[in-house]
Amino acid sequence: MNPTSASQDVRRSASLAPQVKLLHGEQTTTSHLTTIVPATKIKLSLSQLTTMRWSLEDEVLQLKALGYDGIGLWRPKVSESGEGAAAEVIRKADVGVASLSFAGGFTGRNSFSFRDAMADARDAICEAELLGAENLIVVGGARNHHTIRHSRRLVTEALRELSEFAMLHGVRLSLLPMHSFFAPTWTYLHTLDETLELLDNVNHPSVGLAFDTYHLWREPRLLERIPELVPLTGVVQVSDSRRAPQTDSDRCFPGEGRIPLNDIVRAFQQAGYDGYFDVQVWSDEGWAKTSVEMVRLCQSSAVQLAQPTGSPLSSLPVGE
């Protein structure tokens, strides 16, 4: 898709692309910005894992024009700018920070010992405090030849040990369960029940849940359960899906797939959730797009999530 056709698509969708400055040498469309005021205000952030090719300066420049209130930070991109410099950019831009990703790996994969992972997690907590991040996203770790019981013990021990340190630094540790496809490399935690059981065993106010629509939308009775999740949920990560996971990065933007995102978002809001909905799209297809196309997709995602309607969760197939 070229810039001309991208602009045509934007006009047809009734959400005009904003006037945007140069991004990595690509001149974007110069249409006047149409400010969209949703019927129900939703607190949106845009993850750096979505805008992989943009610099931090580009990201904070665009956020509010595209309909976002904050940013979700990714540690490798923060390190490119330097933690202090990144914190200053964010402060000057006056944007909120939904989360910082990732810490964890407590089960010893990737040549990290338990103590290595703990030291890194403490560094990440301090980094989150400096950046003003409300949540540090924690991925427990793959089984790594352990029994499930031993894996659970390691992650529980880690979170208990880190919880007071996190509280002292004003950071919430938000534990992320993931689809079973990610078991070999990311985490053994796949379901709400096992994650909630672990959080109950940790039992600390600075340790909670990172709810990701891509990973958890197929949970049984999900909409009914959201009220019990809200007190534990630090951040809701949002992306769409066309099919069961095939790779680590085959997600799509809200509205492009089959997840009933509006129903899930509305259920969280009605249950009293007032945190960020972080648009986090791991997508090889998305990362290959031009900045013109990414501007359009990011704005259309904000518009999509503000809509009051969605597909009934019960009408969709289960079993993947």
Task: Report whether 32 contacts 19 (CB < 8 A).
Answer: yes
Q: Which DSSP letter does residue 49 get?
A: T
**For 278-308, what is each residue's pLDDT tens digit?**
999 999 999 999 988 999 999 999 998 987 6
**For 193-247, what is each residue's pLDDT tens digit?**
999 999 999 999 999 999 999 999 999 999 999 999 999 999 999 999 999 999 9
**For 8-27, what is each residue's pLDDT tens digit?**
222 222 232 233 333 333 43
69-278 CATH choice from 3.30.70.20, 3.20.20.150, 3.40.50.300, 1.10.645.10: 3.20.20.150
pLDDT at position 120, please? Answer: 98
CA 295-57-302 angle, 5° bins: 30
| Amino acid residing at 109 | R
Mean pLDDT over each residue of the chain, to the nearest integer: 86
Using the Cα atoms of residue 273, residue 135, residue 173 and residue 136 in order, give the sign of their dihedral: positive
3-state secondary structure at position 198: helix
